[in-house]
Amino acid sequence: MNKFDVGIIGGGPGGYTAALHAAAKGEKVVLFEKDNIGGVCLNKGCIPTKSILHSSEVYKQIINSASFGVSVENINLDYSKVKERKNKTVEILRKGIELALKNSKVSVVKEEAHIVSSNVIQTKNNQYECNKIICATGSSPKVVKGLEFDHKFLLSSDDILDLDKLPESVLIVGSGAIGIEWARIFNNFGVDTTVIELASSLLPIADTEVSKRVERIFKSNKIKYYTETSVQKIENHKVILSNNEIIEPEIVLVAVGRTPNPHTIIEGIEYIGDVCGEIQLAHYAIKQALEKIDDIEFRKEYTPSVVYGNPEIAWVGKREQDLEPNTYKKSMVLVSALGKAHCDGNTDGFIKILSQDNKIVGVHIVCAEASSLILQLLIAMQNGINAEKLKEICFPHPTYSEGIFEALFK
């Protein structure tokens, strides 16, 4: 029987991070991945989606470039090149991770593997004895009754990445991060886009003011949406909604979340990433891996969320609707007050800070570079740096960051 210090099933962000850090400590590591190294994030999620999103934003910027004094004629969109760039980006990053694993002397087994006991992993023809086993087998697109994927008309978030051409119209079911980002992608490319959401607001997991701002952004970009609405039935590609509206999209993207991949709970096994069914974000899985391998303290309440596009949306900590009235202070600056925003033509959004007893307890940002801005306040929150202390920091001008500085004085 093959013997290892650490055995890891799943080569996504949690799995490969755990493997690399365990190997760096001198441990003998085996990593099992039946598909491609990189997991959902690299191959079917974060990276390919952001690559396509960026292409869509470049296209939209060119379409609107006249307002910046740049006129462009004969604009041509070749979606096959967009897809080709996406595939190349994924391949480059995957090869980088594979090389890192090889250089770290991690044994990579490209087979399906199963946990037999607290210290044994089984593949088709071999068994591996491991002192420690980590299960990081990820998740898959959630299937909803009546909206089962046929991979032609009813598409999953996996399917949507492999489109050979853009549709004329799309209906997106669900307005979480996946639904919002793809609505922006299709809208940027000029596709007739409609979003339906069962909850009473778009991006319902976010702060109420963030959700309202998303709805306003959708309206300004002519993205149609319905809240408190579901699909009643589908007949011959006609989608009948619960509000009796009938939509005839070319395709439907079902983006209602993800389900942990099937796994057996065995005492003594460590479970990280999407398979836990908790926070299904790559950076959460990475932090879990570091906690298990390097004993680095991790507080999951400080896990930031980001929705990409223009403007970006990011938040961490408590939402305003989570707080009791008259127990907190709200400080907010509109992005339109920032010089950098006007220079860039990105004036939509706000920076909102919630505090209690002079401690920052929640941050909600709709702004260009929100994914970077959120980190500045997250560092303060996690290290107990209060708002008064942050006022001592010299923020550069003109930047979006100075919106944080301005908010501290509100």
User: If you search the block for the tokens 């919002």, which residue do you land on?
Assistant: 180
Q: How do 114-117 and 120-122 pair as beta strands?
A: antiparallel
The three state secondary structure string of 242-309 is: CCCCEECCCEEEECCCEEECCCCCCCCCEECHHHHCCCCCHHHHHHHHHHHHHCCCCCHHHCCEEECC
From the list 114, 237, 342, 397, the catalytic residue is: 397
Burial of 94 (0-12, 13-18, 19+ CB in 10 A): middle
Peptide bond into 249 cis (omega under 30): no
From the list 351, 354, 301, 304, the residue with the least C-alpha distance to 330 is: 354
- Give the residue from 325, 324, 328, 332 showing the smallest Cα distance to 350: 332
Instruction: Compute and round to an integer the Cα radius of gyration of the chain.
Output: 23
Q: Rounded to an integer, what distance in angstroms lies between the CA atom of residue 43 and that of residue 35? A: 10
Query: What residues are paired with 28 via a beta bridge?
Result: none
Helices (H) and strands (E) in the chain, counts: 11, 22
Nearest Cα to 292, choosing from 22, 106, 104, 9? 22
Query: Could you give the CA distance from residue 193 to residue 190 in angstroms, rounded to a whole number?
Result: 9
Q: Beta 169-173 vs 251-254: how paired, if at all? A: parallel
Cα distances from 82 to residues 88, 162, 187, 221, 309, in angstroms, run 10, 11, 15, 22, 16
Nearest-angstrom CA–CA distance, 72 and 94 = 35
Phi and psi at 403, nearest 5°, equal -65, -35
| Active site (annotated) includes residue 397 | yes
The catalytic residue positions are 397
